[in-house]
Amino acid sequence: MSLTEVVYKIRSDTFAPCIVSGKNPDVRVILNQVSHDVSNQTVRLLATVLGPEAAAQETTKVLMGSFDTADIVRQTKDQVTFRASVSLDTIRKTGNPAAFALEHFGPEVLVQPALIHNGYLHVRLVVTGKVDLAAMLAAYEQGVKAGRWSDFKLVRIDDFDPEQQIHGAFSENLTQKQLEVIKTALALGFYNTPRNVTLDDLSSIFGISKAAVHNRLQAAERKVIAKYFS
């Protein structure tokens, strides 16, 4: 079965974080989707806000207000990272343009780390099968007419070959729990020198023991190393 990579940027003039990021071009927001609970239509993610202190704090306050729950995990002078959860209903109500991907492609789509910058949500998706570009653009136009978003720019649409991308090749061999933990650890700076977060921090984020976090990381690292050097 084929895979398709879709990269685009989309803007909503009613989504407060897009408005604030448009006013603060030095600020960047990185969104890492950790999981998607299809049963209750809830997305869990980690968000990292980077930029000058005052602008980053303003953006963080506005962004956190667009989720159902949000808790700061780490904060420095020019960086704030928080974990959040949000329902599809809230995504729609707040004007979040992420609704476009979830509604058009469905919950099975693989959402890569996204970026909010200069008023746009920059999105990279991996979709099962071929993408009907005409249908995709028609769905976007319907959203414009309904006032849900105001601009859309398609950056790339092409076949996705996981063998050509390290992340794709590695993630195929990891369990979902291993992938969630190692992605979170990487996003929060666990592999930085010195480390920005500890095993205790990760244990708190996932609500599991420190030993369980260590075991998942160790298993994931072993698979990645084996894949790379075998």
CA-angle at 52, arms to 46 and 57, nearest 5°: 55
**CA-CA distance, 202 to 149, in Å (whole number)?**
36
Residue 10, strand partner residues: 121, 152
Q: 55 and 90 share a domain?
A: yes
Answer with the residue of higher pLDDT: 84 or 188.
84
Size of the chain in residues: 230
Kindly report the CATH number assigned to the domain that includes residue 201.
1.10.10
Q: Are 93 and 183 found together in one domain?
A: no
Q: How confident is the model at residue 163 (pLDDT cuts 50, 70, 90)?
A: low
Domain with 47 in it: 3-160
Residues 210 and 145 in one domain: no
Task: Write out pLDDT tens, residues 104-150.
Answer: 887 667 788 889 999 999 988 888 888 888 888 888 888 888 888 89
In this prediction, residue 69 carries a pLDDT of 95
pLDDT the model gives residue 162: 63
Q: How many domains does one find in the chain? A: 2
Same domain assignment for residues 185 and 71: no
Please identify, among 160, 178, 206, the residue that sits at the C-terminal boundary of a domain: 160
Q: 121, 92, 96, 127: which is closest to 109 by C-alpha?
A: 127
Q: How confident is the model at residue 166 (pLDDT cuts 50, 70, 90)?
A: very low
Mean pLDDT of the chain: 85
171 and 155 part of one domain: no
**Bridge partners of residue 126, in order along the sequence:** 5, 110
46-70: pLDDT as tens digits: 999 998 999 999 999 999 999 999 9
**pLDDT range class, residue 204, cuts 50, 70, 90:** confident
Residues 148 and 211 in one domain: no
- Both 8 and 48 in a single domain? yes
Domain limit, last residue, from 121, 141, 160: 160
User: Rg of the chain's alpha carbons, rounded to an integer?
Assistant: 18
* Residues 124 and 176 occupy one common structural domain: no
Could you tell me if 114 and 137 lie in one domain?
yes
The reply to whether 13 and 113 lie within a common domain is yes
Q: Answer whether the bond into residue 194 is a cis peptide, omega within 30°.
A: yes
Q: Are residues 23 and 63 in the same domain?
A: yes
Same domain, 112 and 170: no
pLDDT per residue as tens digits for the range 214-223 = 999 999 888 8
Lowest mean pLDDT among 48-52, 82-86, 152-156, 173-177: 173-177
pTM: 0.70
**pLDDT the model gives residue 17:** 92
The span from the CA of 36 to the CA of 52, in Å, is: 31
Could you say which of 160, 191, 219 is where a domain stops? 160
